[in-house]
């Protein structure tokens, strides 16, 4: 059940248009679920537990999750973020990011006898195992994802070069060189648009009737749920704000979901990026956060808005999440 509206005008301050009292109130619809998913919670906790167990510094290969606020917070605790393993000293612990890594990375860590902890999201690890099984069955894999994304690089790195082909769009499907009767399978990146991915899968199945797909959808529960929550509120809003990083795939998809429904959306990393001009004529504003954005950034946005408008806040709940992932055994024993 949706929460009732409640009013917030804390820390009210004059705006360019006058005082809060001079401005029309703003209905603020906040999506639920939003923000951290179980995989992100687990990855951040892994870095924190590693710092407790091994002491600072703990090295992290790539951003643990795509959020500058989170990364800076972990840096302050003693984490050092690097691009590649050759930047990690031989006697230092290293954590692999939640997006997953190619097989060559843990192999290199073992060769160097590095102490490493893998923070790959379990749902991404599941796709890695699926890829291995498809290759064992002699199938070429069509992977639906965004070129250059860390998760795509990690998943394609689970198999030998030439065993997996990346597609992003229906147009890419049309260009595939395979015959209709070849042994093929498909897998998908976990943070894609549910609607766009369905269309690409339909194109694959039309062109390759015998193609094999996973038993369950690869797009993760958190991505699907956050997109569903935006769909619940977007039609009632004149504008939707999405808190997330510009390199966060799932955050970008939330912007697209809103715009596809005809409601303009803006991606912001912090409240300070809000242009108050966006709110001119806006009576109802939607607000959500990508899976790597902490709740503190949502409340930061609400506090800033309350400095300029009287806020009537309401949470729109699409579903309730209860997913929890276990930590790696090496940090709990």
Mean pLDDT of the chain: 93
User: What's residue 5's pLDDT?
Assistant: 43
CATH number, domain at 197?
Answer: 3.40.1010.20
Q: Which of 63, 151, 232, 313 is catalytic?
A: 151
Checking if the pLDDT of 2 tops 70, the result is: no
Task: Supply the pLDDT for residue 60.
Answer: 98
Q: Is residue 302 part of a domain?
A: yes
151 part of the active site = yes
Confidence (pLDDT) at 211: 97
pLDDT band at 179 (very low <50, low <70, confident <90, very high): very high
Note down the domain range covering 50. 39-118
215 & 225 share domain: no
Which residue, of 219, 242, 275, is where some domain finishes? 219
Instruction: Give the residue-averaged pLDDT of 278-290.
Output: 97
Is the pLDDT reported for residue 10 higher than 80?
Answer: no
Q: Which helix (H) or strand (E) holds 301?
A: helix 295-306
Stretch 229-256: mean pLDDT, rounded? Answer: 97
Alpha carbon of residue 95 to chain centroid: 19
Q: pLDDT category, 219, cuts 50, 70, 90?
A: confident
Last-in-domain residue among 219, 247, 282:
219
In sequence order, what DSSP letters do the residues of 157-178 get, joined into one string? TTS-TTSEEEE-SHHHHHT---
Q: Which two tokens stand for residue 209?
A: 């009737």
What percentage of the chain has pLDDT greater than the value 70?
94
236 and 277, same domain (yes or no) = yes
Whichever domain contains 93, its CATH number is: 3.40.50.11270
User: For residue 137, what are the contacts with CB-CB under 8 A and spacing of at least 6?
Assistant: 183, 185
The predicted structure's pLDDT at residue 134:
97
Order the strands of the 140-144 sheet from edge to edge: 164-167, 140-144, 184-188
Into how many domains does the chain fold? Answer: 3
Q: Which of 130-144, 190-204, 205-219, 313-327 has the lowest mean pLDDT?
A: 205-219
Task: With CA atoms as reference, report the closest residue to 37 among 332, 307, 316, 294.
Answer: 294
């Amino acid at each position: 059940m949706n929460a009732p509206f409640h009013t917030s005008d804390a820390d009210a301050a004059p705006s360019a248009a006058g005082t809060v009292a001079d401005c029309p109130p703003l209905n603020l619809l906040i999506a639920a679920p939003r923000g951290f998913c179980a995989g992100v919670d687990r990855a951040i906790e892994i870095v924190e537990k590693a710092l407790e167990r091994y002491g600072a510094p703990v090295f992290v290969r790539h951003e643990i999750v795509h959020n500058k606020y989170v990364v800076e917070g972990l840096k302050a605790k003693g984490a050092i973020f690097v691009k590649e393993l050759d930047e990690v000293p031989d006697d230092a612990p290293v954590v692999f990011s939640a997006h997953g890594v190619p097989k060559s990375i843990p192999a290199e860590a073992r060769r160097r006898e590095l102490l490493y902890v893998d923070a790959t999201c379990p749902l991404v690890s599941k796709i890695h195992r699926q890829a291995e099984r498809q290759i064992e069955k002699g199938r070429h894999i069509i992977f639906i994802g965004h070129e250059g994304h860390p998760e795509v690089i990690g998943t394609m790195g689970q198999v030998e070069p030439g065993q997996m082909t990346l597609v992003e769009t229906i147009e890419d499907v049309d260009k595939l060189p395979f015959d209709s009767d070849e042994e093929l399978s498909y897998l998908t990146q976990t943070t894609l648009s549910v609607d766009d991915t369905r269309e690409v899968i339909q194109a694959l199945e039309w062109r390759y009737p015998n193609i094999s797909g996973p038993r369950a959808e690869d797009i993760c529960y958190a991505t699907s749920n956050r997109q569903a929550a935006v769909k619940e509120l977007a039609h009632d809003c004149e504008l939707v704000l999405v808190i997330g990083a510009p390199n966060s795939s799932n955050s970008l998809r939330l912007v697209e979901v809103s715009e596809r429904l005809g409601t303009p959306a803006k991606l912001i990393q912090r409240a300070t990026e809000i242009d108050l001009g966006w709110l001119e004529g806006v009576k109802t504003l939607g607000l959500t956060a990508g899976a790597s954005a902490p709740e503190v950034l949502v409340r930061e946005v609400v506090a800033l808005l309350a400095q300029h408008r009287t806020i009537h806040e309401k949470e729109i709940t699409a579903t309730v999440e209860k997913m929890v992932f276990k930590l790696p055994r090496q940090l709990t024993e």
